C-alpha cells in the first residue's frame, strides 16, 4: 500500500513541475533524446536483479550495460554498485529499487536516478553544463560534484552530504542548499528543513558512498571484451 501511495505522489510531483513551466518543458523535451549505455553494473552482492527494457526482472550480471529506462532492485542484505558514463558511481543499498535515465541535448547528458524506495550512496563527478539528479515521490536532489547518501521511504526522503554540496527541492517548491555535514529532508506530510547531520547519518552515508577498487570485464558496443578498473572512492 505504501508503494502505491509513493507512486501516486511521484506522478503528482512530476505533473506539478511540468505545469509550473509548460513552455520550458516542451522546449526541453523536443531537444532531448534518451541514450543507451547510461551505466554499467560493476558489483552485485546476493539478491540483485535488473529490468532491461520491457523484459521482466532477472538476476543482474557484472559488466551488464544499463540503458535509459532500465531498473535495478536489491533484496535483503544485498547491494549493487553502478558506474555511469561520466565516472559517477552509486551504491544501491538493500531493499531498494531504482531506475536510471539518461537524456542528451546539445551534446550534454542529463543523468537521473529515480528511486521508488530504499537508499543509495553516491560519488558524483561534476561536468560543466551537465546535471545529475535523484528523484523520489517527495523530492528531487541535484548533486553538484559530491559524495553522500539519498533515501526514500514511506515517511519521506532525505539527502545527506559527506563532501561537496547538493540541493534538495520539495514538491511544493522549497529548495535547500546542502553542504558537507548537513542533511535536508522532507516528509510525506510536507514538513521539510535542513539541519546538521547526525554522526550516525554521516557514518551511514560514508559507508554507502564507498566503492572500489574493482576490475570489471564487459563487452563494448562492437562486442569486444574490455576491462574497466574502478579505483577506491571514499
pLDDT in tens, 30-39: 566 776 789 9
What's the CA angle centered on 159, arms 202 and 208, to 5 degrees?
Answer: 50
CATH code given to domain 2-230: 2.60.120.1440
Average pLDDT score over the chain? 81
Say yes or no to pLDDT of 8 above 70.
Answer: no
- Select the more confidently predicted residue: 198 or 19: 198
Angle at 53 between CA 66 and CA 95, to 5 degrees: 65
- Could you give the CA distance from residue 205 to residue 119 in angstroms, rounded to a whole number? 10
Its pTM stands at 0.76
In this prediction, residue 205 carries a pLDDT of 80
pLDDT higher than threshold 90 for residue 142 = yes
- pLDDT for the residue 129: 76
Q: Is the pLDDT of residue 7 over 90?
A: no
Nearest to 164 by CA among 234, 212, 87: 234
Q: What pLDDT, on the 0 to 100 scale, is given for residue 113?
A: 96
Predicted pLDDT at 20: 47
More reliable by pLDDT, 231 or 72: 72
pLDDT at 228: 54
Q: Is the pLDDT of residue 22 over 80?
A: no
Instruction: State the chain's maximal CA–CA distance in angstroms.
Output: 51
- pLDDT over 90 at 19, yes or no: no
Domain spans, the chain: 2-230
Q: What residues does 59 pair with on adjacent strands?
A: 49
Backbone angles phi, psi at 226, to 5 degrees: -130, 160
pLDDT tens digits for range 170-192 = 999 999 999 999 999 999 999 99
Pure H helices in 179-222? 199-209
For cell 550516525, name the residue. 200
Q: What is the pLDDT of residue 31?
A: 65
Amino acid at each position: 500500500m505504501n508503494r502505491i501511495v509513493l507512486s501516486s505522489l511521484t506522478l503528482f510531483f512530476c505533473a506539478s513541475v511540468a505545469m509550473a513551466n509548460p513552455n520550458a518543458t516542451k522546449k526541453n523535451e523536443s531537444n532531448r533524446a534518451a541514450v543507451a549505455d547510461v551505466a554499467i553494473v560493476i558489483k552485485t552482492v546476493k539478491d540483485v536483479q535488473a529490468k532491461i527494457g520491457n523484459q521482466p526482472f532477472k538476476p543482474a550480471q557484472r559488466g551488464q550495460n544499463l540503458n535509459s529506462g532500465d531498473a535495478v532492485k536489491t533484496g535483503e542484505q544485498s547491494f549493487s554498485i553502478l558506474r555511469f558514463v561520466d565516472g559517477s558511481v552509486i551504491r544501491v543499498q538493500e531493499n531498494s529499487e531504482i531506475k536510471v535515465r539518461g537524456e542528451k541535448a546539445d551534446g550534454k547528458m542529463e543523468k537521473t536516478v529515480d528511486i521508488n524506495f530504499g537508499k543509495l550512496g553516491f560519488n558524483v563527478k561534476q561536468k560543466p553544463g551537465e546535471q545529475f539528479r535523484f528523484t523520489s515521490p517527495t523530492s528531487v536532489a541535484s548533486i553538484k560534484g559530491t559524495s553522500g547518501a539519498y533515501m526514500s521511504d514511506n515517511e519521506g526522503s532525505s539527502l545527506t552530504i559527506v563532501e561537496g554540496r547538493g540541493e534538495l527541492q520539495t514538491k511544493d517548491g522549497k529548495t535547500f542548499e546542502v553542504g558537507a555535514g548537513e542533511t535536508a529532508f522532507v516528509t510525506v506530510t510536507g514538513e521539510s528543513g535542513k539541519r546538521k547531520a547526525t554522526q550516525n547519518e554521516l557514518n551511514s552515508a560514508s559507508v554507502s558512498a564507498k566503492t572500489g577498487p574493482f576490475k570489471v570485464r564487459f563487452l563494448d558496443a562492437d562486442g569486444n571484451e574490455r576491462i574497466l578498473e574502478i579505483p577506491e572512492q571514499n
